[in-house]
Amino acid sequence: MAKAKKGDTVKVHYTGTLGDGSQFDSSQGRDPLEFVVGQGMVIPGFENAVDGLEVGESVSVAIPCADAYGEYNDELTGTIERDRLPDDLNPEVGMMLQLSAEDGQTLQVMVTEMDEETISVDGNHPLAGKDLNFDIELVEIA
């Protein structure tokens, strides 16, 4: 039977959990996740776990944060003076914002704290710094 390899389009069902067992994502009840092995469409540890699987085969894998969303980076956090925000913007904790960096790049950040004069934002992925566990089943190689 064929094994998934670099360049193959694959479909997988998965469930992702944290070290404490809490589930952060799953494809159960949805269409399987489709991606091309070797193209960096999913985190490296997930892709590596699928490489070499046969259709119908399942694997459980622990992915260290370095092979997932990376280490938490304090440099991606900051504080913005409220008077620098558009007048029609009413930020709330948990809201995602797009900011323009000095070099012209667009950054996605989450509002983490607020007071009367400032808002604190975090540009890290919500799973940055976390080791992840996945149960993965290869359902199709296209």
In a domain, 2, yes or no: no
Among residues 41, 27, 38, 40, which one has the least CA distance to residue 4? 38
Q: Determine the pLDDT at residue 104.
A: 84
List residues bridging with 103 in a β-sheet: none
Q: Is a pLDDT exceeding 80 seen at residue 101?
A: no
Tell me: do 79 and 98 sit in the same domain.
yes
Tell me: do 66 and 78 sit in the same domain.
no
Alpha carbon distance 134, 62 (integer Å):
7
Q: What is the mean pLDDT of the chain?
A: 94
95 falls in which pLDDT band (50, 70, 90)? Answer: very high
Strand boundaries in the chain, DSSP class E? 9-17, 23-26, 33-36, 58-63, 77-81, 96-100, 106-114, 118-122, 132-141
Q: Determine the pLDDT at residue 1.
A: 77
The per-type count for the chain, helices as H runs and strands as E runs, is 1, 9
Q: Is a pLDDT exceeding 90 seen at residue 142?
A: no
Average pLDDT, integer, range 110-137: 96
Cα four-point dihedral sign 109, 105, 85, 88: negative
Tell me: do 52 and 96 sit in the same domain.
no
CATH number at residue 50: 3.10.50.40
In a domain, 117, yes or no: yes
Alpha carbon distance 138, 47 (integer Å):
11
Alpha carbon distance 57, 105 (integer Å):
41
Task: State the residue range of the domain holding 41.
Answer: 9-70+127-141
Tell me: do 13 and 66 sit in the same domain.
yes
Measured in degrees and rounded to the nearest 5, phi and psi for residue 45 equal: -65, -35
Alpha carbon distance 132, 121 (integer Å):
24
Number of domains in the chain: 2
61 falls in which pLDDT band (50, 70, 90)? Answer: very high
pLDDT in tens, 71-88: 999 999 999 999 988 889
Tell me: do 17 and 66 sit in the same domain.
yes
Q: Determine the pLDDT at residue 105.
A: 86
Tell me: do 133 and 117 sit in the same domain.
no
Check: CB of residue 43 under 8 Å from CB of residue 69.
Answer: yes
